Amino acid sequence: MLPYRAMRIRGLEPLLVVAAAVVITVVMTWPLAPKAAYAGRTDTNDGQFSIWNVSWVARALVNDPRGLYDANIFYPHRGTLAYSEANIGAGALAVPFYWASGGNPYLAHNAVLLLAFVLAAAGTYALVRHLTGNRYAAAVSGVAFAFCPHVFSHIPHIQLMLTAGLPWSLLAMHRFVDRQSAATGAALAGVLAAQALSCGYYGIFAGLVVSSGVIVYGLTRGLWRRWTYWAAASAAAAASMLIVLPFFQPYLALQQDTGFARTLQDAQRWSAQWRSYLASAAWAHRWVLPHLDSWGEVLYPGTAATVLGAVGLFTGSTIGDARRSRGHVAFYGGMAVLAFWTSLGPAAGLYAVLFQVVPGFSWLRAPSRFGLLVALALAVLAGFAVTRLLGRVRRAPLVGSLLVLAALCDLSVAPLFLVEARPLAPAYQSLEKWPPGPVVEFPFFYLRTDFPRHAEYMLNSTAHWRPLINGYSDYIPPDFRAMVIPVSSFPNPESFAILKSFRTQYVIFHLDLYDRRAVVDLKERIDSYRDYLRPIRIEDPVWLFQIVAWPPQR
């Protein structure tokens, strides 16, 4: 039996791990925590989109769950949340923060961002603790994966921050392989579903690695002879799909209606290069960047993870139960190799095969993101290396603590670059007091390269949640593309006719987004249509009008 003190520490371990993960996250993402209520990566349109997206889902899940996918963009289209990643998982995590803060979109988003790091670190810790039994090895692995450079490079993309489902899915898979029961099967199904609802890419990744693990461990441990093993695994897979299916149905409907899908040509553009695996913005590594012509994606796993992962691959099979350790090292080594190969895209071959065979691949665009699995596999293998090392030294706690500190220093990017939110224009405060109705904001960006700039209006709409004619997403409706040029000239007869068909009631002009000559022309046109546009709030640089009548059509 364990001594009483050891039993007490073991019982408190989950709480201590979470507490440590919270502290480390605050330090590694500084100054995000103190600025969570009013700052973010709004210097990018994707960052603005993410804040809007998380807030929409958090609000709709409580306020109108049946209308969850009828987001307030591209009005009068419906089901517009499915035009991009829905981020159901992020929105669900944000619910208490969004409502407790009175609908603060920045706090809702940033709370999920911080939680993403905490859950990933804790999940990887739990996975490696299960595989090696060593707390320090688990801590090194948790830091190596949760704070890897790839994750930091995607701060503006909330769905790509939710990596925690990958280590938690693998942990659930290992527990299921060790013991098939209703509890382990349900846990596996639940974690897989949670990851799929948090990020479509990582949901597919989790499905691939877990199904591979079930097959590999089933064969190597002789479990393949038991029909109950395959039945339980199939039941877990079916349960996870049943959980996800209602949330995936809008995407199937969109594909059926529009034929929207990715092609291998799209994937080739977003494939990794060998340089990608040398790119990192961490302070310890960024000196390499000027020496790389181009890298496309940031995929360097970190020096600690790379070195220790390589050592673990060649020596990790000697720890504990050699047969089991050998199986784990082989599985995670194979995972690293196959993920690296797949990340290189269609030209390398494996991705093209998976595109034809695996359901869901036609929705993917960026093979380079498989590089995250390389980082996870190396982090796990690093845990085996650390376990072996600590078994050979006298002061294992001191050496283990130093290795954790070294991993943290290796991956540090702090302070994070954040943009503080500007005060909300008085026009939006005035709009809240008027009856509901569709809103359109100008300038109405009509060049394809400028479409992402509509995300700024989406973020502004979190102040009122009115239907918005503007919109930005992965999928742009054809009729939106067709109308952008005539609408951009509002007010004039043609644009009035289009907005009339949408029953538009409110118009917002951002004078600071026009050039000086365009502002003069705009004011002249507004004055010529003053009988149809009632000013509500004329306070530079944002003007708000209500459309009170429609000019006769010629």
pLDDT at 10: 65
Is the pLDDT at 443 greater than 80, yes or no? yes
Q: How many helices (H) and strands (E) does the chain have?
A: 22, 6
Average pLDDT over residues 534-544: 96
Calculate Rg over the CA atoms of the chain. Answer: 26
pLDDT at 325: 87
Which helix (H) or strand (E) covers residue 481, if one does? helix 478-488
Is the pLDDT at 4 greater than 80, yes or no? no
Tokens linked to 307: 């070195």
Tokens linked to 519: 């502002």
Average pLDDT over residues 103-122: 98
Pairwise CA distance, residues 301 & 152, whole Å:
11
By mean pLDDT, which of 321-325, 356-360, 454-458 is the weakest? 321-325
The mean predicted confidence, pLDDT, of the chain is 94
DSSP state of 44: S
pLDDT in tens, 80-98: 999 999 999 999 999 999 9
Tokens linked to 456: 């700024």
pLDDT at 264: 85
The answer to whether the predicted template modeling score (pTM) of the entire model surpasses 0.85 is yes
Pairwise CA distance, residues 551 & 554, whole Å:
9
Pairwise CA distance, residues 42 & 38, whole Å:
11
Is the pLDDT at 107 greater than 80, yes or no? yes
pLDDT in tens, 137-181: 999 999 999 999 999 999 999 999 999 999 999 999 999 999 999
What length does the chain have?
A: 554
pLDDT-based confidence at residue 5 (cuts at 50, 70, 90): very low
Average pLDDT over residues 527-535: 96
pLDDT in tens, 463-492: 999 999 999 999 999 999 999 999 999 999
pLDDT in tens, 255-277: 888 877 778 888 888 999 999 99
pLDDT at 266: 83
Coil vs helix vs strand at 539: strand
pLDDT at 1: 39
Strand order in the sheet with 542-547: 439-442, 506-510, 542-547, 533-539
Residue 488 CA from chain centroid, whole number: 32
Is the pLDDT at 57 greater than 60, yes or no? yes
pLDDT in tens, 186-240: 999 999 999 999 999 999 999 999 999 999 999 999 999 999 999 999 999 999 9
As a whole-number percent, the residues of the chain with pLDDT over 70 amount to 97
| 3-state helix, strand and coil shares in percent for the chain, rounded to the nearest 5 | 65, 5, 30
Average pLDDT over residues 296-321: 89
Average pLDDT over residues 36-55: 97
Q: What is the dihedral of CA 294, 297, 298, 299, to 10 degrees?
A: -110
pLDDT-based confidence at residue 554 (cuts at 50, 70, 90): low
DSSP state of 291: G
Nearest to 131 by CA among 368, 458, 382: 382
pLDDT-based confidence at residue 7 (cuts at 50, 70, 90): very low
| Ramachandran category for residue 477: left, alpha or beta (phi over 0 → left; psi -120 to 50 → alpha) | beta
Q: What is the dihedral of CA 223, 227, 232, 235, to 10 degrees?
A: 140
**DSSP class per residue in 61-102:** HHH-GGGTT--SSSTT-S-GGGGS---HHHHHHHHHHHHHTT
Average pLDDT over residues 417-438: 94
pLDDT in tens, 8-44: 456 789 999 999 999 999 999 999 999 999 999 999 9
Coil vs helix vs strand at 433: coil
